[in-house]
Structure 1
Amino acid sequence: MFFSKATTFGDEELVRAISTSDAESRHSENGFIDKLRANDAAAFETLVDRFSGAIYAVAYRLSADREEAADLTQETFLRAFRSMSGFRGDSSLKTWLIRIAINQSRNRARWWRRRRRETTMSLDEQIGETGITLGDTIAGSTSSPEDDTLQREREAALLSALSTLKPIYREAIVLADIEGLTYAECSAVLDINMGTLKSRIARAREELRSKLMDF
């Protein structure tokens, strides 16, 4: 054995070790949140470093516009900085930031009227039951020019199809099927009940399946 009797964890010791680790993690997170509430610049910089990629991804998948997504990401963190004192801790920081990002996108009247652009961004999750695995659209280093062309066409088709959905359906499917949030998290972010959420996701999947039949 690699562990001696003295170093082997029993069930009780393992539970205590896990509980201690969880408590330390919560204490560290609470300390981080306290620094954010105190407008600690270093803590806020850490917040941006930790979550800016995720927030940009949400914004881009909602807008299909890189400049719009960058603007929304910046606005999200500015709003978070100004609103940090109101963070109650009843959700994770990531969920809270995504909620702000969605509210910011809703406030930009032009976000759903934007001019759709071709993109080469890869989305590597499957969209519900559409039958399209987005990872399959990512061309490898040995892909042929024909494969690259098909990749771009599929990515453009997906983003184009997403952009035609009503905002309430697009938000639901982006959070659930692309960002991978749990239904509980989606419900909290969108401030809707579980039944409404499931209905919106089902409707979005149905519409995407219809629009992407050729792919």
Structure 2
Amino acid sequence: MGNLAGVIAVRPEEAEIVAELKAGSEEAFAWLISTYHQPIYSVIARILQNPADAPDVTQDVFIKVFRNIHSFHGHSSLRTWLYRIALHEASNRRRWWSRHCRQEVTIEAETGPSSEGQALCIKDTLVDEHSSPFDMAANEEIRAHVEAALREVPEPFRTVLVLRDIEGFAYEEIAEVLNVHLGTVKSRLMRGRAQLKARLAPFAEAAGRIPGGAARFSAVACPKEAS
């Protein structure tokens, strides 16, 4: 294929890329990683219970792609195939997390008596005694709240919400990635949006009480309207 780095900008035809990948081209894999690493990482980070696991899971995805590229026969797009692997790996990590989370210490755990003689929890040591976060609200803080609320949306609604409203997948693509009916995708999306909106409602109300807060929140946090 020649110097692949020189033709990345013009997006070579997928069939040519797949052929080079199957031939073991290092340039083709470099192109694949540079093109898909960030979006794959973003999806995984939003789906996992612990976003800190996203780098390792993302690495596992590309290792799987490297080892299994010969099993790709073009029945779906390369992008769809990649996301299917990513969701499978994220699902495996979620199951692992469910089995081990009981070993984690929650912020509700008691650490000992306070100076007033009452039980002191870990969360009590994390209280910010400074000005309210809403007094210093910025777009990145709003995104953090949205990400936290998104992780509280149960599966399978969260995955559809991430693929549609954040990654911009078409309904048909989502149905293909998840191997479900189109109607199922739309139903899950509607329920996912409703649950996310409900979880963000208290924060949205608080943001509305500061100058410019409501507009900032709407611009950053509100998902796309269903079409």
TM-score interval for Structure 1 and Structure 2 normalised by the shorter chain = 0.5 to 0.7
Code of the residue aligned with 2:89 in structure 1: it is Q
- The answer to whether the aligner puts 1:104 opposite 2:89 as a matched pair is yes
SS at match of 1:198: helix
CA distance 1:76–1:148, change in 2 (3 Å):
farther
- Superposed CA deviations along residues 60-112 of structure 1, whole A, max 9, x for unmatched, are 12126453111111011011111111112232222211111000011112456
1:154 maps to 2:156: no
Report the counterpart of residue 73 of structure 1 in structure 2: 58
Question: 1:200 is aligned with what amino acid?
Answer: R
Aligned to 2:75, what secondary structure does the other structure show? coil
Q: Which runs of 4+ in 1 moved over 6 A?
A: 112-115
The structure 1 residue matched to 2:46, chosen from 61, 71, 90, is 61
Aligned counterparts of 1:192 and 1:111: Cα–Cα separation in 2:
25
Decide whether aligned partners of structure 1 residues 37 and 74 sit closer, same or farther in structure 2, where only a CA change above 3 A counts.
same
Mark the runs of 5 or more structure 2 residues left unpaired by the alignment. 1-9, 105-132, 205-227
Query: Aligned partners of 2:15, 2:140: CA distance in 1, in Å?
Result: 44
**Cα distance in 2 for residues equivalent to 1:38 and 1:163:** 39
**Equivalent residue letter for 1:177:** D
Deviations 1:121-178 (CA, angstroms, capped at 9, x unpaired): xxxxxxxxxxxxxxxxxxxxxxxx9675354542232112111121211101000111
Residue 170 of structure 1 corresponds to which residue in structure 2? Answer: 158
Q: Secondary structure at the match of 2:156?
A: helix
Residue aligning to 1:213: 201
8 Å CA contact 1:64, 1:159 repeated in 2: no
Structure 1: distance between partners of 2:151 and 2:51: 14
Residue type at the aligned position of 2:190: A
Counterpart position of 2:173: 185
Whether the aligned pair in 2 keeps the contact of 1:105 and 1:111 (CA below 8 Å) is no
Q: Give, in whole Å, the separation in 2 of the partners of 1:51 and 1:155.
A: 22
RMSD, aligned α-carbons: 2.5
- TM-score, reference length from structure 2: 0.64
Give the aligned partner of residue 223 of structure 2: none
Q: Give 1:94's aligned residue.
A: 79
| Equivalent AA in structure 1 for residue 163 of structure 2 | L
Could you tell me how far apart the structure 2 residues matched to 1:201 and 1:74 are? 28
What is residue 70 of structure 2 aligned with on the other side? Answer: 85
1:90 to 1:149, Cα distance in 2 relative to 1, 3 A = same
**Aligned with residue 50 of structure 1, among 16, 22, 35:** 35
Unaligned runs of 5+ in 1: 1-24, 116-144
Q: Share of identical aligned residues, percent?
A: 36
CA distance in 2, matches of 1:35, 1:147: 53
